[in-house]
Structure 1
Amino acid sequence: MTPDPVSGDCPSSGTRHSRPLVSSDVAVLAADTVVLPGSCGPGWIGIAGERIVATGIGRPPRHADRELGATVVVPGFVDLHVHGGGGAAYMTGDPEEAARAVAFHRAHGTTTTLASLVTATPRTLRRAVAALAGLVQDGEIAGVHLEGPWLAEGRCGAHDPALLRDPDPAELDALLGTGVIRMVTLAPEREGGLDAVRRVAGSGALAAVGHTDAGYALVRAAIEAGARVGTHLFNAMAPLHHREPGPAAALLGDPRVTVELVTDGLHVHPALWELVLASAGPSRVAAVSDAMVAAGMPDGRYRLGELDVRVDGGVARLTGRGSIAGSTATGDALFRRIVENAPDRTSGLVRAVAMTASTPAATLGLPVGVLEPGRRADVVVLSPELEVREVYRRGARLAPPA
C-alpha cells in the first residue's frame, strides 16, 4: 500500500524488513516514528558506511545500536533554492563563506543543497561560480543555481533591474561549460529565451521558468523546449486569471514539471498549498527556503547581491522598494510548517518528507531523499516538536546544531 498522493495517509502496523541484517558492521537506529516509503510508525533503519542497507516498521531484527525513543526520523532535506544563511552568502566569491552557509543549513537538516546566485554582471557571476566550483566537486553542494540575470524587468523581485539582460549564447554556454551549473531560472519571454531553455536542458542542467510575465502559451512552449521546474510558484510571476491562466497554470498543469513552493507561511498562503497539492501532488512539489544571508540571524541590515535588505520580524525586504528579498527560513522550519498546515500529523509527516526531501531529490536525480536500501544515509532525527536533534550525512553523525 502506498500513501494517498494528497493526504499522505500510510499504514503503520506490522513489521517489514527490506533486507535481513547479517553483519555487525551495520548500525541500527530505532525510533518511535520513522517515515519510510509507504509506511510510517515505530521503526528502524540500518546504515553501513555511507548507505542505508535495511529498513523496517516495527522492532528491528536485532538489538538497536541506538534507541532514539520519542523522535521522528526522516530523510535529510534537499533544498533547490538557497542564497545563503547564518550570516554567509553564496554570491560573494569567497569559498570559505560559502562553506559556512552550507554548514549552517546542514545543522538545520538540509543535507543537500544548490547554491543559488542572484542577478549580477557577467564578471561577478563568473567569479561567484568559480568560487563555488570546488565545493561542487567535493560534494559539499549539489551544484549552482543561476537565478537570473535573464529575468523579466516587471517581475524582477529582489534582483537589480539595471543588470537584467537577454540571454547571450556565449555567456550562457561559458557558464554551463564550467560543469557546475545544475539549474538556471529564466524568463522565456526575453529575446532568445526559448533558445536559452534548449541550451540549458541540452547541457544536462535543469531549465526553470521564473520571474516572468510570460503567458500560458509561451510557458507551455518553454516546457516543450525542456523547462522542468517552476521557480517559487506564484512569486515573481504573472498571477492566475480566468481568461489568461498565466505561467502558474501552465507549470502546474504539466506532469513533467516540478514546482517550487516557499512554505515559510509568508511567500504563499497555506490555503494555496492545498490547491497546488490537489493539482500536482506532493511528488511534483518541492518546498524551498529561498533563504538569504540573514537566515538564523537577528533583525537588521543585510545585502542580497548588490542590493540592501532590511529584516524586521524575520521578514527580509529590499530597502526602499519593499519587495520580499528571499526568506530567513531553514529546512526544518519549512518541514514544521507543512506538518502544521496538514489535515493531521501522520499525513503531514508523509507530505513534508515528500516536499522537503524525496521530490527535490528526484528532480535533481540524486540518490537521497528517501529512507530505503541503496540510498545515501542522509538522515535527520527530529524531536516530537519537529526540532532538529541529530543530523547524519553519508552515514556520519554531524556535530549538534548550535
Structure 2
Amino acid sequence: MASPLITARRMIITPAGSPTRVVSPGYVRVVDGVIAEAGEGRPNATPDADLPDGLLAPGLVDLQVNGFFGHDMVDADEAGWRTVVSRLPETGVTAFLPTFITAPVGTQAAALQRARDLLPGLPDGTRVLGVHLEGPFLSEKRKGAHNAEYLTDPAPGAIKTLLETGLVKLVTLAPERDGALDAVRTLTEAGVLVSVGHSDATAAQTKAAADAGARMVTHIFNAQTGVHHRDPGVAVQALIDDRLSPGLILDLHHVAPEVAELVFRAAAGRVVLVTDAAASAGMPPGTYELGGEPITMPEQGPPLRADGTIAGSGLRLDEAVGNAIGLGIDTAAAVDAATRVPADLIGRPDLGRITPGAAADLVWLGPGHRALATWVNGQKLFGGGS
C-alpha cells in the first residue's frame, strides 16, 4: 500500500491534546487519504514531495462563501458548482459552506433541493460541508446588502421547511427578532451551528442567544451593533463571551487593521477567518450578482451594490491568513483561525489540523502565504511541487 510522504521546511502541527504550533522541519505521511504520521524533523526515507520553503498547513476551511469565479452559489447551475468546487483549491480552501443570502423561504428551500440533487455529481475538489443560510431572519436596521423585502421572523414552520434537505449546517440570524431564541434552540438541537449577525441586538440579547445555543457571530463589526461604553452591542459580546467565535473578514477593507488586531487579542483562540466571497471573487472588475442583485467589482476594494453598500468580498482565504500574519498575529493562531477553529465549530474535528487520524487535507502556502499546492484526502488537486 502506497504511503506518500511529504516533508516541509516549516509546518503547522496540532499534536493530540496540545496547542497548534509551527515546527521546522516537519513531515506528513498519508495512507488512504488519512494522515498516518505527522511530526517534527526529517524521517529516514525519501519524500514523495519536499517543500523547500513556505509553510505546510492544514487545508483551509471557509464557512462563508456566497460565490466565486463568476458564480453565485444560491442560483448557480451544475456547471457553476463544478467550477467553484474544482477551483477553490487554488485558494488553499479544502472545505467550505456555500452561503445563500436572504430570499423568500420557499426560494431558499428550492435552492437547497437543487444543491442536494447536484452534489453527488460534483468532481473531486473542495469539500462541500453543507450550506450556510445568511438570512432571511435578519434585522431591517442592519440588512447590509440583503433585500429588506424578504426579511422575516424565524417562524417554526419556516425553520422546519429549511431543515428538510438536511443540508443546512449554519444559520445566521438576528436574535432580537420575534421567535429567534426558540429558533436558536430548535436549530441547535438539529445539529445546526447558529451565528448572530445582521443584528441590532444589545450585548444582553446576544448573550441570551448564546445561552440558547448560538456559538458564532457573523463578520464581526459589519452589519451589527458594535462597541459603545454605555450601549454595548453584538460585537462587545462576541469579544468577551468565550462561547462565541467571531467571524472576521480580513481583507483590510471590511475592518481596519487595528480593529482586526483587537479581535485576535480579545478573542484569542476563537476567531474564524471567513471570506464572505461574492461571485466577483477571483474575477476581473465588472458587474456580477449576489442573491439575484447586481454588484460591481471595482479596481480596488470590495464589491458594492448600486447604493454603495459593501456586498461580500473579493477575498481569498489564503490571503486572509497572510493579512493576519502581516498584522503581527502569531502564525499558528492565524492558521488556526482558518482551519481548526471553523472545523471544530461545524462539528468536523477530522478537518483543519495536521495530526494522525485527520483527513489529509493540506495546503502549501508560499513565502507570500498564497497557495502553491493543495491536497484533499491526500490527492493533489492544485499546484506544483515535486
Same-fold call, TM cutoff 0.5 = yes
**Alignment-derived partner of residue 358 in structure 1:** 340
Query: Could you say what secondary structure the match of 1:322 adopts?
Result: coil
Q: 1:2-401 alignment to 2 at 5 Å?
A: 25-37=2-14, 38-92=21-75, 94-134=77-117, 140-281=127-268, 283-342=269-328, 347=330, 349-366=331-348, 367-400=350-383
State the Cα deviation string for residues 307-326 of structure 1 (Å, max 9, x = none). 22111124344433211100
SS in 2 for 1:398: strand
Measured after TM superposition, the shift of residue 98 of structure 1 is: 2.1
- Report if the CA contact (8 A) 1:90-1:128 is conserved: no
Contact 1:95–1:131 (8 Å) recurs in 2: no
Identity of aligned residues (%): 36
**Compared with structure 1, are the counterparts of its residues 378 and 314 closer, same or farther at alpha carbon in structure 2 (3 Å cutoff)?**
farther
Aligned equivalents of 2:322, 2:76: Cα separation in 1: 32
State how far apart, in whole Å, the 1-side matches of 2:34 and 2:300 are. Answer: 37
User: Does the Cα contact within 8 Å between 2:10 and 2:22 map onto a contact in 1?
Assistant: no
Q: Secondary structure at the match of 2:337?
A: helix
DSSP-derived class of the 2:235 partner? helix
TM-score, L = length of structure 1: 0.89
Distance 1:96 1:224, change over 3 A: same
Tell me, in whole angstroms, the C-alpha distance in 1 between the residues paired with 2:163 and 2:24: 44
**Secondary structure of residue in 2 paired with 1:178:** coil
The residue matched to 2:210 in structure 1 has which SS?
helix
| Alpha-carbon contact 2:226-2:236 (below 8 Å) kept | no
**Contact kept in structure 2, 1:309 and 1:316, CA below 8 Å:** no
Deviations 1:129-184 (A, max 9, x none): 11221466678300100000010001000101111111121121111122110000
Partner Cα distance (1:239, 1:354) in 2: 25
Contact 2:89 2:382 in 1 (8 A): no
Distance 1:222 1:126 in 2: 24
Tell me the alpha carbon deviations over residues 351-386 of structure 1, each in whole angstroms, 9 at most, x when there is no partner: 221111111111112111111100000000122222
* SS of corresponding position for 1:356: coil
- Could you list the per-position Cα deviations for residues 246-305 of structure 1 after superposition, in whole angstroms to 9, with x for gaps in the alignment? 111112222121110111111111211221122211x21110000010001011111111
Whole-Å separation in 2 of the counterparts to 1:25 and 1:49: 8
Contact 1:314 1:328 (8 Å CA) reproduced = no
The AA in structure 2 aligned to 1:147 is E
- 1:4 equivalent in structure 2: none
Query: Contact between 1:93 and 1:132, CA under 8 Å: does it hold in 2?
Result: no
- Following the alignment from structure 1 to structure 2, what is the Cα–Cα distance between the partners of residues 214 and 64? 54
Letter of the structure 2 residue corresponding to residue 27 of structure 1: P
- Give the conservation status (yes or no) of the 8 Å contact 2:219–2:246: yes
**Residue correspondences, number:** 373
Name the CA distance, whole Å, in 2 between partners of 1:382 and 1:267: 24
Query: How many Å separate the matches in 1 of 2:198 and 2:94?
Result: 27
| C-alpha distance in structure 1 between counterparts of 2:76 and 2:87, whole Å | 18
User: In the aligned structure 2, how far is the partner of 1:70 from the partner of 1:278?
Assistant: 28
Gapped regions of structure 2 (runs ≥ 5): 15-20
Report deviation, 1:110: 0.4
- Aligned to 1:284, the other structure's residue is in SS state coil
Give the SS at the match of 2:138: coil
Alignment match, 1:16? none
Deviations, residues 20-68 of structure 1 (Å, cap 9, x unaligned): xxxx732111111111123422111111111011112121232222222
1: distance between equivalents of 2:320 and 2:118?
Answer: 25
Unaligned regions of 5+ residues in structure 1, if any?
1-23
- Residues 136, 204 of structure 1: CA spacing in aligned structure 2 closer, same or farther, 3 A cutoff? farther
Compute the TM-score of the two structures, normalised by the length of structure 2.
Answer: 0.92
SS in 2 for 1:80: strand
- Match of 1:36, as an amino acid? I
